[in-house]
Structure 1
């Protein structure tokens, strides 16, 4: 898992998260985006046609209404025509399903490791995707993973100290008989990659299977 903080202020900062994903994820992403982008192109043309013959103040009012309508569709997952929008929607859905979309009072942010180890053993994800998520959303993922996994992570750290195996933080996999013990302890950890992959699946499912908004002609004024 890789992170790059791209923002400058606390409220609008964006974090780039690179996630390993199963084969075929990129193709599914392309299909889902194309489906919704085709509808957006029709809607854009329809909106332009509505502006013809209006006065400047009327155009400003209608444009504001059009922008609001788009925001509503996107925020509810009805229109997922942008890559980052699709990812963010799916991750939010996953956080809600886990009960993690809340304020994490009492969390020691200084203690949370950015990579949130360990990585899964035996799982191979040949593709990678870069997600550009709000820093606040990334913090929710870290807080949820850390809170649900901190005892297991502490036990893994103790195991590492006792066995002198370079598992944490080098992330090298243990060998021989140590592997079984490591797997047992690691099973108690929810990694950020696991949460992001689940969020990506939710976003893709919504983009590929949720009905797009009504046909454009149904939106035309009578």
Structure 2
């Protein structure tokens, strides 16, 4: 399956998903993260140096500013030093491009499968990624895939029911070409996550040379 697992962590507001990806994805991800992780270490070392000689209250205040500085860089895509962060950043861009970055109130959640959508074919992607992503993003992916594929999925379910009945009655079932045609119209979560990964990796690799660390430090 191309979208293997799905779980929720209520304590963190994150959802865990496992997706199938092309060969070489892990290596590309490591390459994309390396420069950002090195930059993070330099920035944290600079931050630690700033704490020397300060009183405890001053250190607490500065640490808060430093954490905020890192959060700001990560949220705008200038610092993509974690795997889940990189993919979540790209996924937000992908959802925005599809017009799915919105509230999905009224969607038939009980009708949406938690994992593989009907019609999604078994993939040949040899690698997998286990991710912990914001629950809102995961829900937008689910709702968007369902909304764009709802009619095809319902017709696929009917195809399966008709085919099963035909087999039981020893009759010829509907032509498989019809199933393949309908399946091709289903937007799967796996393909959306892979598109988000590509966007996140592109952003990580395209970030220009970081400015001097002192220019990024809290004041």
Give the TM-score taking structure 2 as reference length: 0.87
Partners of 1:90 and 1:220 in 2: how far apart? 26
Question: For the aligned residues, what is the CA RMSD?
Answer: 2.2
Partners of 1:83 and 1:13 in 2: how far apart? 17
Q: Is contact 1:23–1:127 with CA below 8 Å preserved after alignment? A: yes
Partners of 1:213 and 1:78 in 2: how far apart? 8
The aligned residue for residue 168 of structure 1 is: none
Alignment of 1:68 with 2:68, yes or no, is: yes
Deviations 1:53-103, CA, capped at 9 Å, x for gaps: 222222222111111111111011110111111121111111111110101
The aligned residue for residue 39 of structure 1 is: 39
Partners of 1:112 and 1:221 in 2: how far apart? 45
Give the TM-score taking structure 1 as reference length: 0.86
Partners of 2:50 and 2:100 in 1: how far apart? 42
Please state how far the C-alpha of 1:42 moved relative to its aligned partner.
0.4
Partners of 1:69 and 1:52 in 2: how far apart? 19
Please state how far the C-alpha of 1:106 moved relative to its aligned partner.
1.3
Please state how far the C-alpha of 1:118 moved relative to its aligned partner.
2.2
Partners of 2:161 and 2:174 in 1: how far apart? 16
Q: Which runs of 5+ in 2 are unaligned?
A: 166-172
The aligned residue for residue 170 of structure 1 is: none
Q: Is contact 2:155–2:182 with CA below 8 Å preserved after alignment? A: yes
Partners of 1:163 and 1:65 in 2: how far apart? 62
The aligned residue for residue 191 of structure 2 is: 194
Q: Is contact 1:91–1:200 with CA below 8 Å preserved after alignment? A: yes
Partners of 1:220 and 1:104 in 2: how far apart? 39
Partners of 2:75 and 2:217 in 1: how far apart? 22
Q: Quick one: structure 1 residues 62 and 52, their matched pair in 2 at CA, closer, same or farther if it must change by over 3 Å?
A: same
Aligned residues: 209
Q: Is contact 1:79–1:212 with CA below 8 Å preserved after alignment? A: no
Partners of 2:16 and 2:174 in 1: how far apart? 37
The aligned residue for residue 169 of structure 1 is: none
State the 4+ residue runs in structure 1 displaced beyond 6 angstroms.
none
Q: Which runs of 5+ in 1 are unaligned?
A: 166-175
Deviations 1:155-214, CA, capped at 9 Å, x for gaps: 11111112229xxxxxxxxxx983322221112110011111101111111112222531
Q: Is contact 2:42–2:213 with CA below 8 Å preserved after alignment? A: yes
Equivalent of 1:184 in 181, 185, 196: 181
Q: Is contact 2:13–2:134 with CA below 8 Å preserved after alignment? A: yes
The aligned residue for residue 214 of structure 1 is: 211
Alignment of 1:137 with 2:127, yes or no, is: no
The aligned residue for residue 169 of structure 2 is: none
Matches for 1:9-24 after TM superposition, within 5 Å: 9=11, 12-24=12-24
Bigger shift: 123-132 or 71-80? 123-132
Q: Is contact 1:36–1:212 with CA below 8 Å preserved after alignment? A: no
2:110 is paired with a residue of what secondary structure? Answer: coil
